[in-house]
Amino acid sequence: MTKIFFFFLLIIASASLRGNPSELPTFGDRLSGTLSIEKERQLGQQFLRSLRAQAPILDDPILQDYLEHLIYRLAAHSELSDKRLDLVLIKNKNINAFAAPGGIIGLHHGLFLYGETEHELSAILAHELAHLSQRHFARRLDESKKNSVISLAGFLASIILAATASGDAAMAAITSTQGIAQSKTLRYSRDREAEADRVGIQTLALAGMDPRAMALMFERLQKSSRYTRANEIPEFLRTHPVTKSRIADSYNQAMRYSDERPSLRLNYQLMRSRVRALTTIDSSEELKRFQILAKSPVHEIEIAGKYGLVLINTKENQKSKALTTLRELIKRYPLNINFRIAEAEIYAGSEELEMSQKILEKALDTSPGNYPLTVKYAEILLASGKAELAIKTLHPLSATRSSDLFVWYLLAESYGLAKNIPALHEARAKFFSLKGNFEQAIKQLSYALPLLSNDFQASARVRQHIKDITRLKGS
């Protein structure tokens, strides 16, 4: 299990030992007296707010939508009882993933670069889901109730560092800021890892994924580490120690299921290209890579390579080249949402906003309510100065995706352009609250209050929001 897994256990210990055990609800098992599912959820949301505030989040609706569909597909076939999940994609090329109490799963974009198939990425996600479904956090806490109480704030900072920096840096931070980290608390549990492997493999099989993907991913990670220096070993391997016996056990577990090898999945290959295009600092290097992939005899790789060319050419303002390649892709896949968004982005990049808007409207007619399409449409409306229409577009999303930072950011911008200043402050307050900046959130709401003095219902709503945020701030 990951370092972040154990780090957060110490947070739980801190919060639990400081609190009154009698305040925790009983769920009918021995773990409920230590940490209830709802308490896990609360702590997880607290962690999530800090992670969003400090980690470099890769805010891309297309990638987020893809990952959410994938994780919920896996969760539907897992042993997870509480399927409330929050997934965070961190802009970090290192290979790492983590799970935290309350259904928080994070992964670095480096996993897209390394995982050659959707099955391999799914194996990592299924493993992390297993840590959650088996309640390893609460079980570990139950075993170490006598551990020293550790500062919540201090360890939270260490967790963030573990998710976004090297493992060595995280460990140094813990040692220097806490001074009381115990090796037995941070020691990996082979039993828990084996359990997460077994349950994760079962989840893969039930979800129609290749159950051998977990062993394959571990094996390739282990092989790659043989040729790296100690400080370059993938973070995932540091936090999920892989042995030959563990790989063999994973293969043996997979043999219980079908040996049919699933085919490549186009959408995952497209996401790999998108991640490369969005995160590269050298467009020329990626352009060469995509040119090679575009000539691949493997259909999915070919299409993904051409999609990458479109994205890089768009990024470099090469409209003609981007459109030429994209039209070929659209001819072959006329309903593909990724290609329609790419088309809209090309025209938006050349200030042809009306054309971009029409493309997205046509796509939304076919796929109404689609998350990435809707967000991109709102962006184009906002860029076109059509604030009221952008608000109308975003408002339903703010209800269905109430924890989506990007949605609230766009909504605040739209209210500002529409000169609805009270609503602007309320949207900003929501944005800051989700990032754990409660002081700024309260400040924004205090700005809104005087402007709503003649609206009893609205002012009452804002006062209640202030109370709610103040309560969160004190928790």
User: What is the DSSP track for 251-319?
Assistant: HHHHTTS----PPP-HHHHHHHHHHHHHH-S-HHHHHHHHHHHTT-SSHHHHHHHHHHHHHHHHHTT-H
Pick the last residue of a domain from 319, 334, 349: 334
Helices (H), 318-455: 319-332, 337-349, 353-366, 371-383, 387-400, 405-417, 421-434, 438-448
The reply to whether 357 falls in a domain is no
pLDDT at 100: 83
Q: Is there a single domain that holds both residue 298 and residue 249?
A: no
Residue type, 449: L
Residue type, 356: S
Pick the last residue of a domain from 187, 221, 254: 254
Cα(369)–Cα(352) distance, rounded to whole angstroms? 24
The reply to whether 414 falls in a domain is no
Whole-Å CA distances, 397 to 104, 106, 411? 21, 22, 10
Q: Is there a single domain that holds both residue 214 and residue 301?
A: no
Percent helix / strand / coil, the chain, rounded to 5:
70, 5, 25
At which residue do the structure tokens 């799963």 appear? 105
Burial class (CB in 10 A: 0-12, 13-18, 19+), 131: buried
Tell me the three-class secondary structure of 63-74, residue by residue.
HHHHHHHHHHHH
- Residues in the chain predicted with pLDDT less than 50, given as ranges, are 1-30, 33, 146-156, 166-188, 230-231
Q: Is there a single domain that holds both residue 238 and residue 285?
A: no
Cα(70)–Cα(72) distance, rounded to whole angstroms? 6
The reply to whether 465 falls in a domain is no
Count of domains for the chain = 2
Q: Is there a single domain that holds both residue 136 and residue 184?
A: yes
Cα(104)–Cα(98) distance, rounded to whole angstroms? 8
Whole-Å CA distances, 455 to 313, 364, 447, 458? 51, 36, 15, 5
Pick the last residue of a domain from 211, 230, 254: 254
The reply to whether 13 falls in a domain is yes
pLDDT at 355: 98
Q: Is there a single domain that holds both residue 294 and residue 220?
A: no
The reply to whether 344 falls in a domain is no
The reply to whether 83 falls in a domain is yes
In this structure, are residues 128 and 134 in contact, taking their beta carbons and an 8 Å threshold? no
Task: List the Cα angle 161/164/166 in 5-degree steps.
Answer: 75
Closest Cα partner for 417 from 436, 440, 435, 394? 394
Q: Is there a single domain that holds both residue 167 and residue 203?
A: yes
Q: Is there a single domain that holds both residue 248 and residue 271?
A: no
The reply to whether 232 falls in a domain is yes
Structural domain span for residue 298:
263-334
In this structure, are residues 444 and 432 in contact, taking their beta carbons and an 8 Å threshold? yes
Cα(132)–Cα(127) distance, rounded to whole angstroms? 9
pLDDT at 234: 56
In this structure, are residues 465 and 426 in contact, taking their beta carbons and an 8 Å threshold? yes
Q: Is there a single domain that holds both residue 172 and residue 267?
A: no
> How many residues are given for the chain?
475
The reply to whether 339 falls in a domain is no
Whole-Å CA distances, 159 to 42, 286, 397? 17, 32, 30
Token code pair at residue 410: 């766009």
Q: Is there a single domain that holds both residue 249 and residue 267?
A: no
Q: What is the pLDDT of residues 57-80, one digit of tens each?
A: 999 999 999 999 999 999 999 999
In this structure, are residues 469 and 442 in contact, taking their beta carbons and an 8 Å threshold? yes
Q: Is there a single domain that holds both residue 250 and residue 282?
A: no
Helix (H) or strand (E) holding 221: helix 213-225
pLDDT at 16: 42
pLDDT at 165: 58
- Phi and psi torsions of 180, nearest 5°: -125, 15
Cα(301)–Cα(312) distance, rounded to whole angstroms? 16
Q: Is there a single domain that holds both residue 135 and residue 268?
A: no
Q: Is there a single domain that holds both residue 222 and residue 286?
A: no
Q: List CB contacts of 181: < 8 A, sequence separation 6 or more.
A: 10, 150, 174, 175
